[in-house]
Amino acid sequence: MISVLVLTLNEEVNIGDCLDSVAWADDVLVLDSGSEDRTVEIARSKGARVLHRDFDDFASQRNYGLEEGGLRHDWVLHLDADERVTPALREALRDSAERGEHRAYRVPSKLMFQGRWLKHAGMYPTYQVRFGRREALTFTQVGHGQRGALPSEQVGTLDEPLLHYAFSKGIADWVRRHNRYSSDEAEHARETQLRDVDWSALMTGDAQARRRALKDLSYALPFRPLLRFLYVYVGRLGLLDGRPGFDYAVLMAFYEYLIGLKRREHEHRERTDAEESADSSLEVEIHEA
């Protein structure tokens, strides 16, 4: 009834536990981006099919898996290798597929850090469209993440969460990944103007639409790293998560700082190039005169 699509790149630490959590599915496709560790070997040993596609962005990977992966079932669950499906979520997925009230579903996730669930600092529940009918799910890349393209009225919401082990490969790996993500976010921030904000979603949109609009609006705010820390640690009561909550709030402020720094670097480079181009034009005019 349900196919599972997992994206991987050097995930030997995670892929076994991820696939064990979906052992109930009879169709599991691992779309690998060129792993150099034992990811593919472990995936095949767990009974998963494996395809290769060079990575460009998350949305394109997911769309390729949907279109070219030969998935057997109409309903598809999208996972990353550091995510786990609980027995309760498995039942919720099966029930939703049987009832078919919506074409796709948002799934919440619990962020796990330093051996515990970050109930507050992890912004639970944060939703992503991860489950739906194969022909209805099309993803669009925005910043470093992806968004579903269905109208909100066609998307339902599940209560049971995924477990997200974002730090399973250590802090150094998290920093490397978020260094890449910050480049994508900086580019998205640079392209996003106040006129692009979906103002109506702030008042009348669903929770996910409001969150997206607030994110776009936040690009115009000063002191974003400090504001991000205060929002996570104080506004979202991350302080109740103890030391893990504080550490995570600091990491998110650092991530925000990287985005702003790269955004300013790009703008500085553009100004410098424009000035050099203007100087070159002036030199040509003087020479011709």
Mean pLDDT of 213-232: 81
Q: What is the DSSP letter of 137?
A: -
Instruction: Please determine, for residue 203, whether its predicted confidence score (pLDDT) is greater than 80.
Output: no
Helix (H, G, I), strand (E, B) or coil at 131: strand
Q: Are 23 and 87 in contact (CB under 8 A)?
A: no
Q: Could you give the percent of the chain with pLDDT greater than 90? A: 68
Measured CA to CA, the distance from residue 209 to residue 129 in angstroms comes to: 12
pLDDT tens column, 97-110: 999 899 999 999 99
Q: Quick one: pLDDT at residue 29?
A: 98
Q: Quick one: pLDDT at residue 262?
A: 94
Q: Which residue has the higher pLDDT, 162 or 189?
A: 162
Q: What is the DSSP letter of 167?
A: T
- pTM of the complete model: 0.82
Q: Which residue has the higher pLDDT, 285 or 225?
A: 225
Q: What is the DSSP letter of 134?
A: T
pLDDT tens column, 31-74: 999 999 999 999 999 999 999 999 998 999 999 999 999 999 99
> Given pLDDT bands bounded at 50, 70 and 90, which one contains residue 202?
low
Instruction: Please determine, for residue 265, whether its predicted confidence score (pLDDT) is greater than 60.
Output: yes
Measured CA to CA, the distance from residue 251 to residue 225 in angstroms comes to: 10
